[in-house]
Structure 1
Amino acid sequence: MPFDENARREIERVAKDRGWPAAALLAIAEVESSGRTHAIVSGRPEPLIRFEGHYFDRRLPPGKQSVARREGLASPSAGAVKNPPSQAARWRMLVRAAAIDKLAAYESVSWGLGQVMGAHWEWLGYNSVEDLVKDARNGVYGQVRLMANYIEKAGLADALKRQDWHAFARGYNGPGYARNGYHSKMAAAYERWSKARPLPSVPTPTPRPDPSPAPKPAPVAPQPGNAGILAAILAALAAAGAWIVNLPCNLIGIFCGG
């Protein structure tokens, strides 16, 4: 299977959130991404992108448009601006385009394993194209959530649930879907995923037992307060006074050997 366990778990998580068959969403994700979820760019995992120069061209005002055309980043003709083969080079192309017009550049990119165009940000309910990009850059879960948002908004969720791959591919990949065999690829991928072994459940951490209560300290004998000390002094003085009052008898008793 093309996805590792973590990626598969995230795709299945989105499917569960939407009430969709996990195997169906896995099949679509596999066909759209060829099983790749990210590329390492400047030491960071980034979503796969494709820059569309004709989108960029029509989103630029004349002054910026002439600059972008001169730098080979924009053209009125689809396909005239070629994407480099490596993702790192595509991200560098995006950085150059963003230096001319950041928002137009982000709108001119297909983002993540679902290849959703940034230009759809408002239609998909995002507050800005930058919010859409944040979702795409938020790991596999963010990419699949973006793709799922597109599937729902385009009215393709029912076709996905029925595994009507002709209807789904027509809506997702356009009228030329059959020429590229998208419906056949999705059907084959679905058959594989529907027979895949379930993922092992994530073990629940064993709760640690509560620590034994600390032994209670031995009770401390109460110490006399000021009032107790005063009472002891008065008692001692009273005893001394009684002895002085009886001093003759005490003396006699001593001399008599008593």
Structure 2
Amino acid sequence: MKPALTEQDFADAAGQLGCEVAAIKAVCQVEAPRGGFNPDGTPVTLFEGHKFHKFTHGAFDGEAPDLSYPTWTRKHYGKNWQAEQDRLQRAMALDREAALRSASWGKFQIMGFNHESVGFSSIQAFVNAMYAGEREHLMAFVMFVLKNGLAPSLRRKDWANFARGYNGPGYAENNYDDKMAAAYASFKKEA
């Protein structure tokens, strides 16, 4: 069993970001509602074929069109965690580093290509941390928020601006901002 987040972990992160614990919990709830790890102990991942296409310059588009394609789509996402793990493993067999960089990882779904900006010298060091525990997931989130200037939006609960910076320009299509606002209201009620 991997170490789960404690209330103290959330409080430490909120202190570093200067925001409410409920705001961090809201992001956590939206990004990985089932937690940071799969039942087999592997970190939750979501492999993004458009990123794999970018990092491999489309070298595998013909050979593996469900793993490498030029434009984002959810069409090829796995139907469950095992199918997602399989997609990542298949991509790793084609180009390991590009595959690891093309997946989002853990409880806060930090993309592997952000490994340096969240404090890791290599993609492998980042992946190792994602296997270690949810506190490492949280610390990567804190670094991502700080490095990308998203802490002020989190403090203000400006969910649209935060979601745009955290999830990219397609955030509205997935209603990330509305989901975070609703999750925040729920956590705030519990406090």
Normalising by the smaller structure, the TM-score range is 0.7 to 0.9
> Which of 104, 110, 114 lines up with 2:104 in the alignment?
110
Partners of 1:182 and 1:61 in 2: how far apart?
29
Cα RMSD for the two superposed structures = 2.4
Q: Output the TM-score relative to the length of structure 1.
A: 0.63
> Which of 53, 59, 63 lines up with 1:70 in the alignment?
63
Partners of 1:24 and 1:80 in 2: how far apart?
27
**Farther off after superposition, 146-155 or 75-84:** 75-84
Q: How does 1:93-242 map to 2 (within 5 A)?
A: 93-197=87-191
Partners of 1:181 and 1:101 in 2: how far apart?
32
Matched, 1:51 2:44: no
- Equivalent pair of 1:53/1:80 in contact (CA under 8 Å): no
Partners of 1:70 and 1:177 in 2: how far apart?
30
Q: Secondary structure at the match of 2:76?
A: coil
Matched, 1:34 2:30: no
Aligned AA (1:30): Q
- Equivalent pair of 2:119/2:140 in contact (CA under 8 Å): no
- Equivalent pair of 1:50/1:110 in contact (CA under 8 Å): yes
Q: Secondary structure at the match of 1:150?
A: helix
Moved over 4 A (4+): none
Aligned AA (2:33): S
Aligned AA (1:52): E
Q: Output the TM-score relative to the length of structure 2.
A: 0.83
Partners of 1:181 and 1:121 in 2: how far apart?
26
Change (3 A) 1:136 1:57: same
Unaligned 5+ residue runs, structure 2? none
Aligned AA (1:171): G
> Which protein has the larger Cα radius of gyration, Structure 1 or Structure 2?
1
Q: Which structure has more RCO (C-alpha within 8 Å, separation ≥ 6)?
A: 2
Partners of 2:110 and 2:10 in 1: how far apart?
16
Identity of aligned residues (%): 34
